């Protein structure tokens, strides 16, 4: 029987892309308990909504996070549109979903790179990020930005994508696919990776439901939930959408789910690019949200379900804007997953929830 001690993990740690602190109560090499601590980068962005009008806030919303930037602007705009009863053109819905799915592709490839880095495959990490560059180039070409795009506005989108560029999207994504499969081969079939991830940080389905987990983290525990299956916006026009699930419930399953979601997103983009209707890309939105009007919205970000809430007060400034990001929901699951693991596996488990702390704290 060893002696209990506490290891402080983070907020500055090589494996952590963003600051989160964990107090790990360990006995020998086994973690008995993990207490998460966040709050190092709280910026008060929800408060800013009271001093920026509802059109300006869209640019604040996309600065919540550098990876889900597009998703936040889209989710925010959808909430305001629901609040004010605005119906946007079909073409704008399609364009939003195309960019959003492209964001998912780049986010998941980025995460795979970080995972490779976490288990010590430097070369694999570089291959992932090299591939991601090609997706970022597509963003740059269509929006002018690589991280912050600023193409969404309340009532539609700012820029259109012409047919030739959409075809180029498909061409580039098809080009990525082959290389991506090779990389996935290393992630999913390499014994050293398997040994490092399989059977680690297991959360059974019942616990995942109990802990209200969301996103690939939950789907890896066989929770059949993905906001996209609710069919909001252009997702409703997809011929078929089935969430990607895994029964293994461990770190390997989380990697498996994310790896499979990239081709799924590419297929969504392909289908929508073929179906996209012609027409306007935005409608003018006038006036202000009514007094005491309330609306909420959910959106599947790369990391999972994101919840938005807005309340109007008759002025162009909102009374309250709430963004509940996927990581805030998954922190409880992570704390439970860490119980009973080896100290050496802590970094893998923390990474597999794909933590985004700037989202969590806003």
Partner 1 sequence: MAFEMEFTPIALADLHREAAVKKTDGWRFIQTHAVNTDNGIDLYYSFMKNGRVDNLKVSGVTKDQPVPSITDLFLAAFVFENEARELFGVDMRDIAIDFAGALYAPAEFEPMTFISPEQKAAREKARKAQEAKAAKEAGASEAEAAPSGKARVFVMTPERRERLDKKLANMSPEKVAKVEAALKAREAEAASAASAPVEKAASAASEPSGQDAAPKKDVAAAQASDTAPETDYQLERAIALLDTEKAAKVREALALRAGEPVQSGEEPVSAPAISDAALEAKIALMDEAKAEKVREALAAKAAREASSKGGE
Binding site for partner 1 (CB under 8 A): 35-39, 42, 44, 46-47, 50-51, 209-213, 225, 229-232, 288, 290-291, 294-298, 305, 307, 309, 311, 313-315, 317, 319-320, 322, 324, 328-329, 331-333, 335-336, 360-361
First-last CA distance in the chain: 43
* Nearest-approach distance from CB 355 to partner 1, in angstroms: 13
Point out which residues pair with 321 in neighbouring strands: 310
Q: Pick between residue 113 and residue 304 the one whose CB is nearest to partner 1.
A: 304
Which residue is associated with the tokens 């696919």? 177
Burial class (CB in 10 A: 0-12, 13-18, 19+), 122: exposed
Q: How far apart are CA 48 and CA 341, in angstroms?
A: 40
Q: How far apart are CA 228 and CA 35, in angstroms?
A: 32
* Nearest-approach distance from CB 211 to partner 1, in angstroms: 6
* Nearest-approach distance from CB 324 to partner 1, in angstroms: 4
Q: Pick between residue 47 and residue 275 the one whose CB is nearest to partner 1.
A: 47
* Nearest-approach distance from CB 189 to partner 1, in angstroms: 34
- The region, left, alpha or beta by phi > 0 then psi within -120 to 50, assigned to residue 120 is left
* Nearest-approach distance from CB 36 to partner 1, in angstroms: 7
Cα radius of gyration (the chain): 21
Q: Pick between residue 110 and residue 208 the one whose CB is nearest to partner 1.
A: 208
Strands (E), the chain: 4-9, 21-27, 30-37, 152-153, 156-157, 294-301, 304-311, 320-324
* Nearest-approach distance from CB 320 to partner 1, in angstroms: 5
């Amino acid at each position: 029987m060893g002696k209990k001690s506490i290891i402080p993990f983070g907020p500055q740690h090589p494996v952590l892309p963003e600051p989160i602190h964990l107090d790990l109560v360990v006995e020998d090499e086994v973690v008995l308990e993990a207490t998460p601590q966040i709050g190092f980068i709280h910026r008060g962005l929800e408060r800013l909504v009271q001093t920026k009008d509802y059109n300006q806030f869209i640019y604040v919303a996309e600065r919540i996070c550098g990876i889900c930037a597009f998703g936040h602007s889209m989710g925010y705009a959808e909430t305001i549109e629901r609040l004010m009863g605005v119906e946007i053109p079909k073409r704008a819905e399609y364009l939003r979903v195309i960019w959003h799915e492209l964001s998912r592709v780049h986010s998941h490839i980025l995460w795979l790179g970080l995972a490779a880095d976490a288990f010590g495959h430097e070369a694999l990490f570089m291959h992932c990020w090299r591939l991601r560059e090609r997706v970022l180039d597509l963003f740059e070409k269509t929006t002018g930005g690589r991280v912050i795009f600023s193409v969404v506005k309340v009532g539609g989108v700012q820029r259109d994508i012409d047919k030739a560029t959409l075809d180029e999207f498909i061409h580039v994504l098809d080009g990525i696919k082959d290389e991506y499969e090779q990389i996935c081969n290393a992630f999913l079939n390499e014994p050293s990776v398997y040994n490092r991830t399989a059977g680690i940080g297991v959360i059974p389905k019942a616990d995942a439901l109990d802990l209200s987990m969301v996103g690939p983290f939950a789907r890896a525990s066989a929770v059949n939930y993905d906001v996209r299956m609710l069919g909001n916006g252009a997702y409703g026009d997809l011929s078929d959408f089935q969430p990607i699930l895994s029964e293994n419930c461990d770190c390997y399953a989380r990697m498996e789910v994310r790896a499979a979601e990239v081709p799924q997103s590419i297929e969504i983009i392909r289908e929508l690019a073929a179906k996209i209707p012609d027409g306007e890309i935005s409608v003018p939105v006038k006036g202000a949200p009514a007094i005491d009007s309330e609306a909420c919205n959910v959106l599947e970000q790369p990391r999972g379900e994101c919840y938005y809430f807005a309340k109007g007060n008759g002025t162009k400034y909102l009374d309250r804007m709430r963004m509940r990001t996927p990581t805030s929901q998954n922190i409880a699951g992570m704390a439970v997953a860490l119980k009973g693991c080896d100290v050496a596996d802590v970094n893998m488990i923390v990474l597999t929830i794909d933590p985004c702390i700037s989202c969590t704290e806003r």
